[in-house]
Amino acid sequence: MKKAKRNSVLIILVFILALALGIYTAAVGLGKHRIGAAKNIVLGLDLAGGVSITYEVVEDNPSQQEIDDTIKRLQLRVDGYSTDGSVYQEGSDRISIEIPGVTDANQILEELGKPGALEFLDEENYSLFASGEAYEPLLTGSDVKAASAAIDNSGTTPDYIVELVFNDEGTKKFAEATKINLQKIIYIIYDGEVVSAPTVQSEITGGNAMINGMADLEEAEKLAQTIRIGALPLTLTELRSNVVGATLGQDALVSSLKAGAIGMAIVALIMIVVYLLPGVISVFALCAYAVLTLLCLNGFNASLTLPGIAGIILSIGMAVDANVVIFTRIKEEIGTGNGVKVAIDSGFNKAMSAILDGNITTLIAAVVLYLMGTGPIKGFALTLGIGIVLSMFTALFITKNLLKAVYTLGLKSPKLYGSKKEYKVQGYVKFSRVAYIISIVAIAAGIIALPIFKSKDGSALNYTLEFTGGTAMTVDFDEYYDLNAAEEKIRPVVAKAADVSEATIQVQNVKDTNEIVIKTPELKVDQRNEVENELRANFGVKEFAIENISGTISSEMQKNAIISVLIATVLMLIYIAIRFDDVKFGAAAVIALLHDVLIVFAIYSIGRLSVGNTFIACMLTIVGYSINATIIIFDRIRENLVLMKSKGESYENIVNASISQTFTRTIYSSLTTFVTVFVLYIMGVTSIKEFALTLMAGIVCGAYSSVCITGPLWHTLKTKLSKDNKGNKKVSKKA
């Protein structure tokens, strides 16, 4: 017994020391300036600004397809620097790039390089090239579809390689080139310099090639990036570069951090009041979770943007949810008469499957979104994925060991852990008919609103500049206006002169200048003239330049977002069907998920809320949050199918009992997440309030669907589609 107590004291001391070291590393750090890891987290353009570079197309009269292809390939290159970088068209022959987290434009220009010609030469043509004579290349950059670094582990030692993928035309050219150049060198030339000189080992006809022999993965990635940036249909020359400020401003970050701290404090209070001693333990586990999140964000070089904050908020909710599930189970066990030690062990064991299934399904979505997404989608997926892994670790390892440790040290009274009162079974299945009608009406209203607003306003949804593009004005003022002053003084003048909503206008400072970049919906000639006249009349203006710009959320990004969500949904359906041994569970979960997304979409549609980057972040958050709540109820239904079938209970009674048993968990879990977002809504700047509002709606909708839709929907699928027509009355032996 003494040894057990010593071990418990050791566990608590190690945790306290580790937490203190983590806080010190994240918030204080080492070194002369004592800058912690948290201060090294890269902030996105919306929170901290970054470098803006504008290129001009050298070729005359480039086609729109050539520009679109160039933008697509530049985006791949930019993703190597930041997952939140954006590339968009400006005017008819310019392409702008914005990269967050850096302040040295020259450094970025040097690293990014001027996109030049990429050529593949055989030995004969390389001799001509080297001597300055005319030659003809085997392939050019326009023949390359993709290039990526990888590690080949097929041999005795790892081989660092670059994998090339050619388009249809390039496949034919490369097949012919490798056929006539067996055991000869093919030189890869970028901007007049040899970047690689691999020897052809065999004829390659499938459109995929491999360059091996790199010293390390960094060298392979550098070559892959060079090939990607060189594979451009157009030649670009730098027109200008500067450092731009945040689009949301410093206040957005400060208010978000304050809101997060206050929200966490309120959540801690709720956990302590509801779950007593286990609630106190969960507060320490959540502190560890917060510190680990900061360290991981720094370690993974993640760019923190507004969508990234959404991922963190969601993962905080899931971290709390895991503790709620465990503690609710412990209270149930104590309520049935079990001792505290047995209740703790049983509570963790019974909660394990629900926590794993809920987090793994959400992790599936995060992985797919990260692999297939771009820009803000990738940033969201990374922060969410980190949060999911850490939430499981803190709940199943830290909370468990701390709780057992304090029990061993003498805190054994059942009063410290609480006990769950008898629940009253409600008729959720019968009420579901009313719930279905309410949901159908709400979804239908959102869909019907689309053509109405389309005919009225010319747009079915209230798209922001990220989707539609618009007009960008670079104005050099006589005096300096910071972002707050620009929003308060300049933005209203522009909105009135252009006759557009003030909420649709973005302003950015240009570092070390009096310039401000003002982005609005696309303006006609008379609107542009009116804006320029009003700005000159109300402010001292030195220079005024204006161009149309494309949306930063390209059609490719939109397509990737939709495809990745669909793939993630299918994979989640398959996982749930396998884990629950019934495809009807998976089908019900996906339908309920679709229900939540469509309800929130209806809010955007009817309320004319801004549809931009925050819209994507909100929808992805709903996908992750909704499925987790559904899994908890399905886990209880799965358990009750075994426990109640021998008593001859109907599927309806099983579903009603399962929802009733998990009702408090659903409420408390939703409440803790809602509180965090609500504080963000109260304290956030205008642009964040709208985002927080829709997140709150999604949380409420998720709680509603998990209680009123999900379980009854499974019951409907089970009884209506079952071959056993008596299944609704009694559970068959094969249930």
* pLDDT of residue 231 exceeding 70: no
111 in a domain, yes or no?
no
Question: 569 or 389: whose pLDDT is higher?
Answer: 389
Rounded to whole angstroms, what are the CA distances from 540 to 478, 481, 515?
A: 5, 11, 12
Residue with tokens 């852990």: 417
One domain, residues 194 and 141: yes
Instruction: Region of 339 please: left (phi>0), alpha (psi -120 to 50) or beta.
Output: beta
Could you give the CA distance from residue 652 to residue 46 in angstroms, rounded to a whole number?
49
**DSSP code for 39:** G
- The secondary structure of 556-573, three-state, reads HHHHHHHHHHHHHHHHHH
CATH number at residue 511: 3.30.70.3400
Residue 587 within any structural domain of the chain: yes
Domain containing 481: what range?
470-549
User: Based on the structure, what is the number of domains in the chain?
Assistant: 5
| 484-511 burial code (b ≥16 CB/10 A, e <16) | eebbeebbeebbebbebeeebbbbbbbe
Question: How far is the C-alpha of 387 from the C-alpha of 544, rounded, in Å?
Answer: 45
Within-domain flag for 243: no
Which of 500, 529, 549 terminates a domain? The answer is 549
Contacts of 386 (CB under 8 A, 6+ apart): 293, 296, 297, 300, 302, 315
Q: Domain boundary at 549, 572, 598, which?
A: 549
- Most distant CA pair in the chain, distance: 92
- In this predicted structure, the answer to whether residue 655 has a pLDDT above a threshold of 90 is yes
Q: Which pLDDT tens digit goes with each residue over 129-147?
A: 989 888 889 988 778 877 8
Same domain, 411 and 308: yes
Please check whether residue 498 lies inside any domain of the structure: yes
Please report the pLDDT score of residue 724 as a whole number.
Answer: 47
Looking at per-residue pLDDT, the higher value among 436 and 573 belongs to 436
Concatenated DSSP letters for 408-454? HTT---GGGT--PPPP----HHHHHHHHHHHHHHHHHHHHHHHHHHH
pLDDT digit string (tens) for 543-601?
A: 888 877 777 666 666 677 778 778 888 888 888 888 888 888 888 988 888 898 899 89
- Copy the structure tokens of residue 377: 């989608």
pLDDT exceeding 70 applies to what percent of the chain? 84
> Looking at the domain assignment, is residue 190 inside a domain?
yes
pLDDT tens digits, residue range 63-99?
Answer: 888 888 788 777 767 776 666 677 888 878 888 887 7
Which pLDDT value is given to residue 101? 64
Residues 412 and 284 in one domain: yes
**Model confidence pLDDT, tens digit, residues 362-388:** 888 888 878 776 666 777 778 778 888
Q: Is residue 296 within 8 Å of residue 632, measured between CB atoms? A: no
3-state helix, strand, coil in the chain (%, to 5): 65, 15, 20
For residues 436 and 591, the answer to whether their CB atoms sit within 8 Å is no
Same-domain check for residues 589 and 692? yes
pTM for this prediction: 0.69
| pLDDT higher than threshold 80 for residue 713 | yes
Do 36 and 56 lie in a common domain? no
Q: Is residue 203 located within the same domain as residue 339?
A: no
pLDDT for 729? 45
182 pLDDT above the threshold of 80? yes
The one-character DSSP state at 715 is H
Do residue 262 and residue 350 come from a single domain? Answer: yes
Q: Which of 516, 549, 582 is the last residue of a domain?
A: 549
What would the mean pLDDT of 289-304 be, rounded to a whole number?
Answer: 77
What is the Cα–Cα distance from 231 to 211, expressed in whole angstroms? 16
Is residue 280 over pLDDT 90? yes
Instruction: Identify the band that residue 126 occupies on the pLDDT scale cut at 50, 70 and 90.
Output: very high
Q: Decide: 425 and 434 in contact? Cβ < 8 Å.
A: no
Say if residue 168 is in the same domain as residue 225.
Answer: yes
Highest average pLDDT, of 101-115, 205-219, 437-451, comes from: 437-451
Nearest to 603 by CA among 712, 709, 711, 700: 700
**pLDDT in the model for residue 659:** 92
* Alpha-helical segments (H) within 513-612: 525-538, 555-579, 583-607
**One domain for residues 499 and 582:** no
- Judge whether 517 lies within some domain: yes
pLDDT above 50 for 31: no
Task: Tell me the two tokens of residue 633.
Answer: 């109820």
Q: Which residues pair with 164 in a beta bridge?
A: 147, 209
496 and 526 assigned to the same domain:
yes
Tokens of 561: 């977002």
Q: Mark whether 271 and 146 lie in a shared domain.
A: no
- 157 domain-assigned: yes
* Alpha helices, H only, 234-339: 250-299, 306-335
372 found inside a domain:
yes
Instruction: Say if CB 603 and CB 619 are below 8 A apart.
Output: no
Same domain, 170 and 215: yes
327-363: pLDDT as tens digits: 988 998 898 888 999 999 999 998 888 888 888 888 8
Cα–Cα dist 545/676, whole Å: 42
CA distance to 70, 232, 413, 577, per residue, from 65 (Å): 8, 12, 72, 43
**CATH number of the CATH domain containing 221:** 3.30.1360.200
Instruction: Report pLDDT digits (tens) over 466-504.
Output: 777 788 888 999 998 887 788 888 989 999 999 888 877
